[in-house]
Amino acid sequence: MTERRIAAAVLARSGDHARPYGASAPLAITTLDLADPRPGEVLVRIDAAGICHSDLSVINGDRPRPMPMALGHEAAGTVLALGDPDEPGLAVGDRVVLVFLPSCGQCPQCLSGEGYLCAAAAAANGRGELIRGGSRLTCRTAQGDHAVHHHLGVSAFATQAVVDRRSLVKVDADIPPETAALFGCAVLTGVGAVMNTARVRPGESVTVYGLGGVGLAALLGALASGAQPVHAIDPAPEKRALALELGAASALAPEDDAAALGSDVVIETVGKSAVLARAYAAARRGGRVVTVGLPNPAEQLSINALSLVAEGKTLMGSYMGSSIPSRDIPRYIALWRAGRLPVERLLSSVGALEDINELMDRLAEGKAIRQVIVPDW
């Protein structure tokens, strides 16, 4: 078996790094050995990788994961090698978007068309392994070699990655990598929450709580679905300004959200139980509330139990936007080409892999929407 040397951003421990991260440096750019892809796996050069709150939540301990771990899960890349040379529909040189949850195709959820709830994939992600088992990443130390865990089956903050074939979707080569990367998580999750989970219909009113990459993608998805009016809620003035530019009817600070009460559909993307409770209250009688935020596992939600019946509300969780990546990424790209999903407007900046800790600070401070790193910047 051949092993290649790559650079990757590795987190050795979580939950105890002081901010600013630019000083405490939780992520270390580390040289790792990357094994060849096995049958059913693919070696990918990472062309661009987006920085998401799901990465930040591993650093700050909100999402416990086994350590050490090479972070990053939203990316676009180029196929360098196939574990099976006869892999149908994929060839060396193809451009791909990576996704953070493959599907086994055999569990009850997959067989029911709900691959985004695949139990085998979720368990592998929780163990920090690829879905076929184990890690393909190794770190050499004076004390001996040890495995490094994969983040959500991808580990995209790196120059190269080995991923399961089911963790990628082939896309056209003319899409800029910095834009293509956003389809793997922010767009898949935000737009999918609107179109797949909530099934927003033309003319319905929508309110979005939280205007990060996922929240603004949800706003774009609501507008593309013909929702009117669409309200946006966020404490950051610059994010509210962008929401208005993108077509929101109003963009409000959280303390002023009374103007958005009574929406048909409310999308919560913040990952805080208090915000979800407020989002639930904002829905009209008979309204639908969809949450995509990932709170700390210790948080509990308290709502009026009677309201579920007496007010006929529906509260739904949405993981990965209830999306089937092979179906939905091409569909969302088609909307982007038609000008109905201007995803590139979500891009805050493009930086280098070496800047990863400082970029995490900007995300933690709420100063960025979607930052992208280019490993060979």
- pLDDT at res. 142: 84
| pLDDT per 10-residue tile (average), the chain, 377 residues | 85 95 97 96 98 95 95 98 94 98 93 95 97 96 92 98 97 97 98 98 98 97 98 97 98 91 96 96 97 93 92 96 97 98 96 97 94 87
Q: Which two tokens stand for residue 146?
A: 């040890």
**Residue 3: its pLDDT value, please?**
66
What is the pLDDT, as a whole number, of residue 18? 95
Strand order of the β-sheet with 263-268 is 250-252, 230-233, 206-209, 263-268, 283-291, 314-317
Question: pLDDT tens digits, residue range 91-146?
Answer: 999 999 999 999 999 999 999 999 999 999 999 999 999 999 999 999 998 888 99
Domains belonging to the chain, first-starting first, are 3-184+342-374 (3.90.180.10), 187-319 (3.40.50.720)
User: What pLDDT sits at residue 2?
Assistant: 62
Q: If you ran DSSP here, which 8-state letter would residue 165 be given?
A: G
Q: How open is the CA angle 139-142-146, to the nearest 5 degrees?
A: 30
